[in-house]
């Protein structure tokens, strides 16, 4: 038996080439409905919702544990047809007139909720953050017919109001070598500012004093870290994005090493404002000896927007941690740049 409904779909109007929305944007579009024959509708509405979901499984002996969590941000509806008692109840035309009489129901302004501080869209191994438009059609004595479409949202912040992004950062530590190598290694790290755009060079200036009996060299690695949280547990996935190696520093020598790491333009946005999902980007700088000894400087890079018509700004703060020369923690705030 053929379905009465020939087509039900949701279409929205893109506002840029990346088909992406950000804070303060307004979405508009229409619900399109085409039928094979006349029929009555009880209700027809479009629902705009945002939520985060986390789910993973762990095996402990003979038992499988399920870890799941949800974080709902909003769910709003716009009714085209309220219920069967409304005067606006429609009867859709048959297939003979369907091509000329496709019913297009416009909507506008549903993205006003994006003025809130919401996390960017995300999809990972154990969880996702999604924003969607869903059309729901109800008929008497029948199951609802639904169609949905995803909306790609990128969270941004006006960096012009955050002067602290231009604050220079500095930290230093030193470490004694192990039993196989005598002496010590010291590092003094300086960053000219906290804020950087995607695609911009991240300039790391390190004064390295090699008082050991071995040659050492700095090694750089930019990697991402996805963290998922549920029921007091955390699931972590990391992936290296790029690696670079600096020049060797000979024994009993000291040098000022300048390295410019280009932040990829297509790096996914970081997420710091979700209770169950966190996305971080880190730049790890290690001082590597040819054998045995290894110590590291870590730079945590948090990005909040993808470079389409917006730019990301990275916020750096420095913390001391054991077993490492020094640790630089980075946060990013994005802002929209309009052409």
- For residues 330 and 225, give the distance between their C-alpha atoms in angstroms, rounded to a whole number: 13
For residue 150, give both structure tokens.
């995803």
Residue 171: which residues within 8 A CB-CB, separation 6 or more? 188, 189, 318, 320, 326, 327, 328
* pLDDT of amino acid 200: 81
**Which residues, in sequence order, are CB contacts of 188 under 8 Å at separation 6+?**
170, 171, 172, 206, 207, 208
The predicted pLDDT at position 313 comes to 37
Instruction: Supply the DSSP symbol for 290.
Output: S
- CA count, 13 A, side-chain hemisphere, 53: 9
Asked if 21 contacts 114 with a C-beta cutoff of 8 angstroms, the reply is yes
CA distance 290 to 241: 23
Looking at domain 5-154, which of 2.60.40.640, 2.40.50.90, 1.20.5.50, 3.40.50.720 is its CATH number? 2.60.40.640
Which helix (H) or strand (E) segment is 329 a member of?
strand 326-336
User: Which of 1.10.1660.10, 2.60.40.640, 2.30.330.10, 1.20.1440.120 would CATH assign to domain 159-336?
Assistant: 2.60.40.640
State the burial class of residue 250 (Cβ atoms within 10 Å of its Cβ: 0-12, 13-18, 19+). exposed
Every domain of the chain and the residues it spans: 5-154, 159-336
| Per-residue pLDDT, 47 | 92
Q: Which regions in the chain score pLDDT beneath 50?
A: 1, 87-101, 160, 290-339
Phi/psi region, residue 19 (left: phi>0; alpha: psi -120 to 50; beta: rest), is left
Q: Can you give the pLDDT at residue 280?
A: 83
For 116, the token pair is: 């809130």
Q: Residue 85 has which token pair?
A: 């008692």
pTM: 0.76
CA 305/CA 20 separation, integer angstroms: 11
**68 contacts: CB under 8 Å, gap ≥ 6:** 53, 54, 55, 56, 230, 231
């Amino acid at each position: 038996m053929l379905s009465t409904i020939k087509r039900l779909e949701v279409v929205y109007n893109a506002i840029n080439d990346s088909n992406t929305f950000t804070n303060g944007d307004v979405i508009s579009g229409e619900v399109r409905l085409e039928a094979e024959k006349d029929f009555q509708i009880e209700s027809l509405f479009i629902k705009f919702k945002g939520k985060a979901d986390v789910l993973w499984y762990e095996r402990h002996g003979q038992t499988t544990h399920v870890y799941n969590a949800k974080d709902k941000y909003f769910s709003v509806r716009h009714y085209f047809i309220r219920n069967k008692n409304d005067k606006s109840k429609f009867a859709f035309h048959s297939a003979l007139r369907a091509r000329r009489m496709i019913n297009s129901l416009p909507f506008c302004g549903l993205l006003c909720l994006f003025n809130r501080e919401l996390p960017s869209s995300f999809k990972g191994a154990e969880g996702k953050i999604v924003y969607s438009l869903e059309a729901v059609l109800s008929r008497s004595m029948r199951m609802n017919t639904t169609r949905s479409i995803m909306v790609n949202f990128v969270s941004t912040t006006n960096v012009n109001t955050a002067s602290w992004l231009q604050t220079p950062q500095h930290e230093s530590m030193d470490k004694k070598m192990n039993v196989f190598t005598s002496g010590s290694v010291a590092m003094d790290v300086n960053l000219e500012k906290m804020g950087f755009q995607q695609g911009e060079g991240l300039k790391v200036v390190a004064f390295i004093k090699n008082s050991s009996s071995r040659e050492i060299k700095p090694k750089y690695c930019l990697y991402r870290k996805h963290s998922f949280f549920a029921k007091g547990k955390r699931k972590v996935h990391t992936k290296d994005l790029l690696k670079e190696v600096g020049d060797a520093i000979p024994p009993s020598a000291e040098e000022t090493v300048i390295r410019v790491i280009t932040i990829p333009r297509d790096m996914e946005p970081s997420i710091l404002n979700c209770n169950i999902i966190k996305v971080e980007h880190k730049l790890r700088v290690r001082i590597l000896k040819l054998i045995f000894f290894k110590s590291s400087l870590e730079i945590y890079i948090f990005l909040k927007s993808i470079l389409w018509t917006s730019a990301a700004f990275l916020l750096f703060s420095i913390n001391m941690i054991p077993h490492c020369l020094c640790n630089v923690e980075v946060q990013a705030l994005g802002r929209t740049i309009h052409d």
